[in-house]
C-alpha cells in the first residue's frame, strides 16, 4: 500500500482563495469618515456652482485676466525651477559632500514652511531694503516686490522642492552603469548628463515639473505677502478667489472650480507614478 502524499492530506473546507475575508469595521468606519471629510467640501463646490452662468462668468475680464496671469507666472516659475532644480537634484543625488543632509533638509523646508512666512523671508532678502534687494535696485534697477516678477519668484520658492524631490528620487533609482559605460567611451560629464542621465530620469523630471506647475498655480500666501494683490500685475487666481469671496461669492466658486479641475487632472495623470498593481 502506497503512502499518501502530503498533497492528499489537505484540510477540509473551501480553498483559502474562496474564503470571504471579513471587513475590519474598526478600520472601515474611520476610513469612510475620513473619505467623507475630504470629498464633501469638494462636492459642495460642485453643488453650489452657478452652472447656468458658468461660461458667462468665466468670460468676465477680471476672471480671464487672473487666469492669464496665473498660467503665465506658473509656467515661467516652472521653467525657473527646471533650470535650477534639476542641477540641484543631481548634486544631492550624485555628489557626496559634507553637510549634504543639511542641504537636503534646507531644500525641503518650503514644503512645511507656512507660505506667509516664506513671503516675509523673501521680503527680507529681496525687498527694497532687503539683504540682496538693495544691491539689485542700486546696481541693476531691479525691484521685485509688488511686480509680476515677484509673483514668479514667490511661486518658484514654494514649488521648487516638489521638482527637486521627484528628480532626486529618479536619479537615485537610475542605473549608473550606463553612465559609467558612456564615461569609459570618452564622453564628458556634460555629455553623459545630457545624452544618458537626463533621458533615463525624464519621467521623473516631467512628473516633478507638473507637480511644480500645479503648486505654483495654487500659491497664495507667499504671493500676497511678497508681491501684493494688484489687478493685472500680481492678482493671480487664488488671490482673485479670496477677493471675490467677500464681494461676489459665485465668482469665487467659478474660479475655485477651475483650480479644482486643474488639480484633479494633474493628480489623475500622475496616478501611475504613485499606485501600481502587482
Alpha helices in the chain, H assignment, sequence order: 25-48, 54-58, 61-94, 100-112, 115-126, 133-140, 148-173, 177-184, 189-192, 198-200, 202-217, 221-226, 237-247, 249-269, 271-274
Query: Quick check: 277 pLDDT over 80?
Result: no
Check whether 87 has a pLDDT greater than 90.
yes
Determine whether 76 is exposed, middle or buried from the number of CB atoms within 10 Å of its CB (0-12, 13-18, 19+): middle
pLDDT score for 73: 95
> Could you tell me which residues come within 8 angstroms of residue 60 by beta carbon, excluding any fewer than 6 positions away?
251
Measured between alpha carbons, how far is 167 from 85 in angstroms, rounded to an integer? Answer: 8
Report the C-alpha dihedral over residues 266, 113, 117, 257, rounded to 10 degrees: 20
250: confidence class by pLDDT, cuts 50, 70, 90: confident
Residue 278: pLDDT band with limits 50, 70, 90: very low
CB atoms within 10 A of CB 237: 25
| pLDDT range class, residue 273, cuts 50, 70, 90 | low
pTM over 0.85: no
Dihedral of alpha carbons 106, 112, 113, 118, sign: positive
Amino acid at each position: 500500500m502506497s503512502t499518501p502524499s502530503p498533497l492528499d492530506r489537505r484540510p477540509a473546507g473551501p480553498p483559502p482563495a474562496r474564503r470571504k475575508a471579513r471587513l475590519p469595521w474598526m478600520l472601515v468606519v474611520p476610513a469612510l469618515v475620513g473619505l467623507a471629510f475630504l470629498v464633501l467640501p469638494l462636492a459642495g463646490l460642485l453643488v453650489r456652482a452657478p452652472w447656468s452662468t458658468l461660461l458667462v462668468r468665466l468670460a468676465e475680464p477680471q476672471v480671464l485676466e487672473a487666469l492669464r496671469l496665473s498660467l503665465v507666472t506658473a509656467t515661467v516659475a516652472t521653467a525657473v525651477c527646471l533650470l535650477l532644480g534639476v542641477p540641484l537634484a543631481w548634486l544631492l543625488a550624485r555628489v557626496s559632500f559634507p553637510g549634504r543632509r543639511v542641504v537636503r533638509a534646507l531644500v525641503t523646508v518650503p514644503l512645511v514652511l507656512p507660505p506667509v512666512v516664506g513671503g516675509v523671508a523673501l521680503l527680507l532678502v529681496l525687498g527694497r531694503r532687503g539683504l540682496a534687494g538693495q544691491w539689485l535696485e542700486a546696481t541693476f534697477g531691479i525691484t521685485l516686490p509688488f511686480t509680476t516678477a515677484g509673483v514668479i519668484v514667490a511661486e518658484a520658492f514654494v514649488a521648487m522642492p516638489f521638482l527637486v524631490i521627484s528628480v532626486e528620487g529618479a536619479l537615485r533609482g537610475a542605473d549608473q552603469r550606463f553612465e559609467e559605460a558612456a564615461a569609459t567611451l570618452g564622453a564628458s560629464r556634460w555629455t553623459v548628463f545630457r545624452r544618458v542621465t537626463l533621458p533615463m530620469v525624464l519621467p521623473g523630471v516631467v512628473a516633478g515639473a507638473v507637480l511644480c506647475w500645479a503648486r505654483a498655480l495654487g500659491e497664495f500666501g507667499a504671493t500676497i505677502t511678497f508681491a501684493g494683490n494688484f489687478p493685472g500685475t500680481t492678482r493671480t487666481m487664488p488671490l482673485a478667489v479670496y477677493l471675490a469671496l467677500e464681494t461676489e461669492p459665485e465668482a469665487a466658486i467659478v474660479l475655485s472650480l477651475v483650480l479644482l479641475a486643474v488639480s484633479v487632472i494633474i493628480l489623475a495623470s500622475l496616478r501611475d507614478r504613485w499606485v501600481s498593481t502587482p
